[in-house]
A and B are shown apart, each in its own frame.
Chain A
Amino acid sequence: MQEDLYDVNKEITILDILDRVLTKGVVITGDIVISVADIDLIYLGLRVLLSSVETMENMKAVDR
Protein backbone atom coordinates (compact mmCIF):
# COMPACT_ATOMS: atom_id res chain seq x y z
CA MET A 1 0.00 0.00 0.00
CA GLN A 2 2.71 2.47 0.99
CA GLU A 3 4.66 1.57 -2.14
CA ASP A 4 1.60 2.22 -4.32
CA LEU A 5 1.11 5.61 -2.70
CA TYR A 6 4.78 6.36 -3.20
CA ASP A 7 4.46 5.50 -6.91
CA VAL A 8 1.48 7.83 -7.32
CA ASN A 9 3.25 10.71 -5.60
CA LYS A 10 6.37 10.02 -7.63
CA GLU A 11 4.34 10.22 -10.85
CA ILE A 12 2.85 13.57 -9.81
CA THR A 13 6.31 14.89 -9.02
CA ILE A 14 7.69 13.70 -12.37
CA LEU A 15 4.91 15.60 -14.15
CA ASP A 16 5.75 18.71 -12.16
CA ILE A 17 9.40 18.29 -13.13
CA LEU A 18 8.62 17.91 -16.84
CA ASP A 19 6.24 20.87 -16.76
CA ARG A 20 8.95 23.07 -15.28
CA VAL A 21 11.79 21.87 -17.50
CA LEU A 22 9.74 22.25 -20.70
CA THR A 23 7.69 25.37 -20.06
CA LYS A 24 9.46 27.43 -17.39
CA GLY A 25 12.94 28.80 -16.82
CA VAL A 26 15.06 31.25 -18.76
CA VAL A 27 14.56 31.07 -22.53
CA ILE A 28 17.00 31.83 -25.29
CA THR A 29 14.70 33.46 -27.80
CA GLY A 30 14.82 31.91 -31.23
CA ASP A 31 17.52 29.40 -30.46
CA ILE A 32 15.62 26.39 -29.22
CA VAL A 33 16.71 23.64 -31.60
CA ILE A 34 15.63 20.54 -29.76
CA SER A 35 12.13 19.30 -30.35
CA VAL A 36 10.58 17.07 -27.75
CA ALA A 37 9.32 14.01 -29.54
CA ASP A 38 7.14 12.68 -26.73
CA ILE A 39 5.23 15.86 -25.88
CA ASP A 40 1.98 13.87 -25.99
CA LEU A 41 3.30 11.91 -23.07
CA ILE A 42 3.16 15.04 -20.97
CA TYR A 43 -0.51 15.66 -21.74
CA LEU A 44 -1.26 12.02 -21.09
CA GLY A 45 0.56 12.43 -17.82
CA LEU A 46 -1.66 15.34 -16.79
CA ARG A 47 -4.64 13.01 -16.98
CA VAL A 48 -2.73 10.54 -14.83
CA LEU A 49 -2.30 13.27 -12.25
CA LEU A 50 -6.03 13.91 -12.04
CA SER A 51 -7.01 10.27 -11.87
CA SER A 52 -4.31 9.57 -9.34
CA VAL A 53 -6.04 11.91 -6.90
CA GLU A 54 -8.95 9.53 -6.96
CA THR A 55 -6.54 6.65 -6.43
CA MET A 56 -5.16 8.40 -3.39
CA GLU A 57 -8.69 8.93 -2.07
CA ASN A 58 -9.37 5.23 -2.43
CA MET A 59 -6.13 4.39 -0.64
CA LYS A 60 -7.05 6.68 2.24
CA ALA A 61 -10.49 5.08 2.43
CA VAL A 62 -9.00 1.58 2.62
CA ASP A 63 -6.61 2.66 5.36
CA ARG A 64 -9.47 3.96 7.55
Chain B
Amino acid sequence: MSLLLYAIIDNKKVDYEINEFIDKLALDTNVRLQIIRLNNLYALVSSISREKSDVSRNDLLIYAEIVDKISEKYTVLPMRYGSVLDADNDVVIYLKNNESSFTDSLELLYNKEEYAVKLLFSAKKNNAPVKDTFSCQKKSLPAVLQGNTESKKYLLNKYENYTVQEQRDKYIENIKSYFASKIHTIATYVDFKKPLSSTIIIDAVILIEKSKKNELLDIVLKMQALYPEHNIILTGPWPPYNFTKI
Protein backbone atom coordinates (compact mmCIF):
# COMPACT_ATOMS: atom_id res chain seq x y z
CA MET B 1 0.00 0.00 0.00
CA SER B 2 1.08 3.56 -0.76
CA LEU B 3 -0.07 6.95 0.47
CA LEU B 4 -2.16 9.38 -1.56
CA LEU B 5 -1.61 12.99 -0.46
CA TYR B 6 -4.58 15.35 -0.36
CA ALA B 7 -3.37 18.50 1.32
CA ILE B 8 -0.87 20.06 3.69
CA ILE B 9 -1.98 22.21 6.59
CA ASP B 10 -0.19 24.19 9.26
CA ASN B 11 -0.75 22.96 12.79
CA LYS B 12 -0.34 26.48 14.20
CA LYS B 13 -3.42 27.57 12.28
CA VAL B 14 -5.58 24.61 13.28
CA ASP B 15 -8.37 25.80 15.50
CA TYR B 16 -10.73 22.91 14.89
CA GLU B 17 -10.34 19.45 16.40
CA ILE B 18 -8.67 17.50 13.62
CA ASN B 19 -9.47 13.97 14.79
CA GLU B 20 -13.14 14.86 15.05
CA PHE B 21 -12.95 16.29 11.53
CA ILE B 22 -11.31 13.13 10.16
CA ASP B 23 -13.99 10.92 11.76
CA LYS B 24 -16.77 12.99 10.21
CA LEU B 25 -15.06 13.04 6.82
CA ALA B 26 -14.75 9.23 6.89
CA LEU B 27 -18.51 8.98 7.46
CA ASP B 28 -19.27 11.37 4.59
CA THR B 29 -16.83 10.03 1.99
CA ASN B 30 -15.79 6.51 3.10
CA VAL B 31 -12.18 7.68 3.00
CA ARG B 32 -10.22 7.52 6.25
CA LEU B 33 -7.48 10.15 6.30
CA GLN B 34 -4.30 9.81 8.31
CA ILE B 35 -2.09 12.63 9.54
CA ILE B 36 1.66 12.59 9.02
CA ARG B 37 3.42 15.33 10.98
CA LEU B 38 6.63 17.26 10.67
CA ASN B 39 6.93 20.04 13.24
CA ASN B 40 3.98 22.34 12.48
CA LEU B 41 3.13 20.82 9.11
CA TYR B 42 0.48 18.11 8.75
CA ALA B 43 0.15 16.07 5.57
CA LEU B 44 -3.31 14.54 5.15
CA VAL B 45 -3.08 11.20 3.35
CA SER B 46 -5.01 8.00 2.73
CA SER B 47 -3.86 4.48 1.88
CA ILE B 48 -4.03 3.53 -1.77
CA SER B 49 -3.12 0.44 -3.73
CA ARG B 50 -0.06 0.85 -5.95
CA GLU B 51 -1.76 -1.38 -8.50
CA LYS B 52 -4.53 1.13 -9.05
CA SER B 53 -3.71 2.77 -12.35
CA ASP B 54 -7.07 3.56 -13.94
CA VAL B 55 -8.85 6.49 -12.45
CA SER B 56 -12.47 7.32 -13.02
CA ARG B 57 -14.03 10.76 -13.07
CA ASN B 58 -15.78 9.80 -9.84
CA ASP B 59 -12.44 9.11 -8.12
CA LEU B 60 -11.34 12.62 -9.05
CA LEU B 61 -14.54 14.18 -7.77
CA ILE B 62 -14.26 12.37 -4.42
CA TYR B 63 -10.66 13.54 -4.12
CA ALA B 64 -11.74 17.11 -4.90
CA GLU B 65 -14.57 16.87 -2.38
CA ILE B 66 -12.17 15.78 0.35
CA VAL B 67 -9.73 18.61 -0.39
CA ASP B 68 -12.68 21.00 -0.47
CA LYS B 69 -13.93 19.85 2.94
CA ILE B 70 -10.44 20.16 4.41
CA SER B 71 -10.19 23.71 3.05
CA GLU B 72 -13.50 24.64 4.66
CA LYS B 73 -11.93 24.04 8.08
CA TYR B 74 -8.25 24.77 7.57
CA THR B 75 -5.86 26.80 5.46
CA VAL B 76 -4.54 24.25 2.98
CA LEU B 77 -2.00 23.65 0.29
CA PRO B 78 -3.99 21.36 -2.01
CA MET B 79 -2.01 18.60 -3.73
CA ARG B 80 -2.47 17.78 -7.41
CA TYR B 81 -4.29 14.48 -7.91
CA GLY B 82 -1.90 11.56 -8.23
CA SER B 83 0.60 12.65 -5.57
CA VAL B 84 1.59 9.27 -4.16
CA LEU B 85 4.45 8.29 -1.86
CA ASP B 86 5.42 4.82 -0.65
CA ALA B 87 5.57 5.20 3.11
CA ASP B 88 5.15 7.53 6.09
CA ASN B 89 8.85 8.26 6.12
CA ASP B 90 8.77 9.39 2.48
CA VAL B 91 6.07 11.90 3.37
CA VAL B 92 8.15 13.19 6.30
CA ILE B 93 11.17 13.60 4.01
CA TYR B 94 8.99 15.39 1.46
CA LEU B 95 7.71 17.78 4.14
CA LYS B 96 11.24 18.31 5.46
CA ASN B 97 12.60 19.15 2.00
CA ASN B 98 9.86 21.73 1.48
CA GLU B 99 9.18 22.85 5.04
CA SER B 100 10.17 26.47 4.60
CA SER B 101 8.28 27.08 1.32
CA PHE B 102 5.16 25.23 2.55
CA THR B 103 5.12 27.22 5.78
CA ASP B 104 5.56 30.53 3.94
CA SER B 105 2.82 29.68 1.42
CA LEU B 106 0.39 28.64 4.15
CA GLU B 107 1.10 31.91 5.94
CA LEU B 108 0.25 33.88 2.79
CA LEU B 109 -2.88 31.83 2.14
CA TYR B 110 -4.23 32.12 5.69
CA ASN B 111 -7.87 33.20 5.76
CA LYS B 112 -8.04 33.56 1.98
CA GLU B 113 -10.11 31.87 -0.73
CA GLU B 114 -9.79 31.30 -4.45
CA TYR B 115 -12.49 32.30 -6.92
CA ALA B 116 -12.68 32.10 -10.70
CA VAL B 117 -14.28 34.61 -13.03
CA LYS B 118 -14.97 33.90 -16.67
CA LEU B 119 -16.50 36.44 -19.03
CA LEU B 120 -17.68 34.94 -22.30
CA PHE B 121 -18.96 36.04 -25.66
CA SER B 122 -22.20 34.48 -26.70
CA ALA B 123 -21.24 31.91 -29.36
CA LYS B 124 -23.59 33.56 -31.87
CA LYS B 125 -22.40 37.08 -31.13
CA ASN B 126 -18.72 36.25 -31.04
CA ASN B 127 -17.58 39.19 -33.16
CA ALA B 128 -20.76 41.25 -33.07
CA PRO B 129 -19.42 44.33 -31.26
CA VAL B 130 -16.48 44.73 -33.63
CA LYS B 131 -18.25 43.60 -36.81
CA ASP B 132 -20.73 46.46 -36.37
CA THR B 133 -17.90 48.96 -36.02
CA PHE B 134 -16.23 47.60 -39.14
CA SER B 135 -19.44 47.96 -41.15
CA CYS B 136 -19.49 51.68 -40.30
CA GLN B 137 -15.87 52.04 -41.41
CA LYS B 138 -16.46 50.30 -44.76
CA LYS B 139 -17.69 53.52 -46.35
CA SER B 140 -14.31 55.18 -45.89
CA LEU B 141 -12.15 52.36 -47.23
CA PRO B 142 -9.07 53.37 -49.26
CA ALA B 143 -9.47 53.18 -53.04
CA VAL B 144 -7.06 50.27 -53.31
CA LEU B 145 -9.61 48.05 -51.52
CA GLN B 146 -12.62 49.13 -53.51
CA GLY B 147 -13.83 47.27 -56.59
CA ASN B 148 -15.41 44.03 -57.72
CA THR B 149 -12.45 42.07 -59.09
CA GLU B 150 -11.41 38.81 -57.41
CA SER B 151 -8.12 40.29 -56.23
CA LYS B 152 -9.89 43.30 -54.72
CA LYS B 153 -12.35 41.01 -52.96
CA TYR B 154 -9.46 38.92 -51.65
CA LEU B 155 -7.69 42.02 -50.36
CA LEU B 156 -10.87 43.35 -48.79
CA ASN B 157 -11.50 40.04 -47.06
CA LYS B 158 -7.95 40.02 -45.66
CA TYR B 159 -8.31 43.62 -44.54
CA GLU B 160 -11.67 42.92 -42.90
CA ASN B 161 -10.34 39.92 -40.98
CA TYR B 162 -7.31 41.87 -39.84
CA THR B 163 -9.35 44.89 -38.80
CA VAL B 164 -11.99 42.84 -36.98
CA GLN B 165 -9.27 40.95 -35.08
CA GLU B 166 -7.51 44.18 -34.19
CA GLN B 167 -10.73 45.77 -32.94
CA ARG B 168 -11.67 42.59 -31.13
CA ASP B 169 -8.33 42.57 -29.29
CA LYS B 170 -8.81 46.22 -28.35
CA TYR B 171 -12.37 45.57 -27.18
CA ILE B 172 -11.22 42.65 -25.00
CA GLU B 173 -8.30 44.63 -23.63
CA ASN B 174 -10.61 47.47 -22.57
CA ILE B 175 -12.93 45.09 -20.71
CA LYS B 176 -9.98 43.32 -19.14
CA SER B 177 -8.39 46.62 -18.03
CA TYR B 178 -11.64 47.74 -16.44
CA PHE B 179 -12.05 44.42 -14.61
CA ALA B 180 -8.40 44.44 -13.51
CA SER B 181 -8.69 47.98 -12.13
CA LYS B 182 -11.66 46.91 -9.99
CA ILE B 183 -10.45 43.50 -8.90
CA HIS B 184 -6.98 44.70 -7.88
CA THR B 185 -8.58 46.89 -5.21
CA ILE B 186 -9.79 43.82 -3.29
CA ALA B 187 -7.66 40.86 -4.38
CA THR B 188 -4.44 39.64 -2.84
CA TYR B 189 -3.47 37.97 -6.13
CA VAL B 190 -5.04 37.84 -9.58
CA ASP B 191 -3.93 35.56 -12.39
CA PHE B 192 -5.30 36.20 -15.88
CA LYS B 193 -5.12 32.98 -17.85
CA LYS B 194 -4.64 32.73 -21.58
CA PRO B 195 -8.15 32.08 -22.95
CA LEU B 196 -8.63 28.52 -24.21
CA SER B 197 -11.05 29.66 -26.88
CA SER B 198 -12.05 32.79 -28.78
CA THR B 199 -15.35 32.67 -26.88
CA ILE B 200 -13.58 33.65 -23.66
CA ILE B 201 -12.95 37.33 -22.93
CA ILE B 202 -11.66 37.02 -19.38
CA ASP B 203 -10.46 33.88 -17.62
CA ALA B 204 -9.14 34.89 -14.22
CA VAL B 205 -8.44 33.25 -10.89
CA ILE B 206 -8.50 35.46 -7.84
CA LEU B 207 -7.27 35.07 -4.29
CA ILE B 208 -9.13 37.23 -1.76
CA GLU B 209 -9.51 37.45 1.98
CA LYS B 210 -12.67 35.66 3.10
CA SER B 211 -14.07 38.93 4.42
CA LYS B 212 -14.00 40.44 0.91
CA LYS B 213 -16.39 37.95 -0.66
CA ASN B 214 -19.26 40.46 -0.87
CA GLU B 215 -17.02 43.05 -2.51
CA LEU B 216 -16.12 40.47 -5.15
CA LEU B 217 -19.80 39.72 -5.73
CA ASP B 218 -20.47 43.46 -6.15
CA ILE B 219 -17.75 43.73 -8.80
CA VAL B 220 -19.08 40.70 -10.69
CA LEU B 221 -22.65 42.00 -10.61
CA LYS B 222 -21.50 45.42 -11.83
CA MET B 223 -19.59 43.75 -14.68
CA GLN B 224 -22.71 41.82 -15.68
CA ALA B 225 -24.77 45.03 -15.60
CA LEU B 226 -22.14 46.86 -17.65
CA TYR B 227 -21.85 44.07 -20.24
CA PRO B 228 -25.30 42.44 -20.37
CA GLU B 229 -24.55 41.02 -23.84
CA HIS B 230 -21.87 38.74 -22.32
CA ASN B 231 -22.07 35.90 -19.84
CA ILE B 232 -20.16 36.17 -16.61
CA ILE B 233 -19.52 33.06 -14.55
CA LEU B 234 -18.24 33.24 -10.99
CA THR B 235 -17.23 30.00 -9.26
CA GLY B 236 -15.83 29.39 -5.79
CA PRO B 237 -14.76 29.46 -3.11
CA TRP B 238 -12.10 26.93 -4.12
CA PRO B 239 -9.14 25.54 -2.24
CA PRO B 240 -6.22 27.66 -3.50
CA TYR B 241 -5.16 25.24 -6.26
CA ASN B 242 -3.93 28.10 -8.44
CA PHE B 243 -1.95 29.82 -5.70
CA THR B 244 0.21 27.12 -4.19
CA LYS B 245 3.39 28.73 -5.46
CA ILE B 246 2.91 32.29 -4.23
Contact = CB atoms under 8 A, between A and B. Distances in A.
Interface of A: 12-14, 16-18, 20-28, 31-38, 41, 46, 50-51, 53-54, 56-57
Contacts of B199: 50, 53
A31 B85 contact: yes
Contacts, number: 111
B84 A54 contact: no
Given A34-B55, A54-B124, A57-B231, A28 B5 contact: yes
Secondary structure class of chain A's binding surface, majority of residues: helix
B57 A41 contact: yes
B60 A24 contact: no
A23 B242 CA distance: 9
A47 B189 CA distance: 28
A34 B84 contact: yes
Given A28-B5, A35-B53, A56-B231, A14 B61 contact: yes
B50 A53 contact: no
Interface string B121-145: 0111000000000000000000000
A36 B55 contact: yes
Given A12-B233, A21-B64, A34-B55, A54 B122 contact: yes
